Amino acid sequence: MRGKIVNSIVILLTLTLAFILGGGFTYYLVKDQLNIKTETTKSTRETIGVIKCDSDISIDETGISTAVGEIYDATVTLQNYQREKLNSTGSGFVYKKDNQYGYILTNHHVVEGSDKLIVTMSNDDQIEGEVLGSDAYLDLAVVRIDVEYVKQVAKIGTSSESNVGDTVFTVGSPVGYQYRGSVTRGTLSGKNRMVTVSVNSTSDWVMNVLQIDAAINPGNSGGPLLNVNGEVIGINSLKLVEDEIEGMGFAIPMEYAMKFIDELENGKEIERPLIGINMLNVTDIYRLYQYNIIIDPSIESGVVVVGVVENSSAAQAGLQKGDIITGIGGKEVTNAAYLKYLLYQYEVGDTIQLTYIRDKKEKKVSITLTKMEN
């Protein structure tokens, strides 16, 4: 009996030892294969451009706060007073200074109609600003203050170097003075967005703008839109406001604004070309009836000439009442707002080609543009 027990113990010890030795031997056999698999996976990830890093990865959000420091003291709050009462509040930023003055860029609608414009700096200094120049179609204005109040000048960048999906942020005074210096952050959602706006409550105008989802509220208008380097790439101008819409704001590209900065600084009118017509959209059916004009139902877009100014370029080119303009310079004209947008890409004195329909036939004519009287 004792012999059987001893034999059982010996067998058990033998099996245990065999298991241990077998496991170790198996590990050494597959070790090299495991290493090969790991190295192959790493090589494949590097090949497809997922990531290549020789050290630990860390995510640091201080880059945004550093960028905010590049603009914070250059951002101002603008209070528009009319008849000694506060009419509206907006934002702006100092984009340059000289030995005497600091120059602030903002929106036209922020300063429009002001009898007095109070500028509040980041340190709460308040001074009265002077509007040097302003333009409703551009929705841009330049305001001047004494240089002694300037604490910082913004770094000017360009939106052309930014990509859709880039992080952007704004600094401004949403809702009013009490929230001045508010920072909001978001994404550059789109470029070259064509947005129709009303100008002077009498006519429509198309703006080519940047789309962002950073929060913009009343009071943010005129404030800077910046990239993560703290460079201004746009001027906040408007947003879509409807119950079903969220996070659709728009900014004027900085490079576009800078094209007109000299005229605005010097208080000059922005010269815009003129054709010399009165017009309505083809969709304005009932108003066209008042001019005894009936449009072929097959024509769904374009601009109808309802009057030609005497001795104008349009008159000299032979345009007539009832002609339907469908193109400028080879680009489609969908409505009056878009016609003005295309037209204002040209200079006074330029000769352009108009495409129009008369008696159901497409025609083309060259017109030399004259100056629009403001």
> Which residue of the set 91, 109, 189, 313 is catalytic?
109
> Which residue of the set 159, 182, 189, 221 is catalytic?
221
Q: How deeply is 243 buried, as exposed, middle or buried, from its count of CB atoms within 10 A (0-12, 13-18, 19+)?
A: exposed
Q: Which helix or strand (DSSP H or E) is residue 198 part of?
A: strand 182-199
Q: Are strands 303-308 and 324-328 parallel, antiparallel or unpaired?
A: antiparallel
Q: Could you count the other beta carbons within 10 Å of the beta carbon of residue 45?
A: 12
> Which residue of the set 139, 159, 182, 313 is catalytic?
139
SS3 category, 162: coil
Vertex 283: Cα angle to 280 and 287 (nearest 5): 55
Respond yes or no: is residue 109 known to be catalytic: yes
Vertex 77: Cα angle to 148 and 245 (nearest 5): 155
At a CB cut-off of 8 Å and minimum separation 6, what does 43 contact? none
* Distance of alpha carbon 42 from alpha carbon 139, whole angstroms: 53
Q: Could you count the other beta carbons within 10 Å of the beta carbon of residue 101?
A: 20
Query: Which residues are the active-site residues?
Result: 109, 139, 221
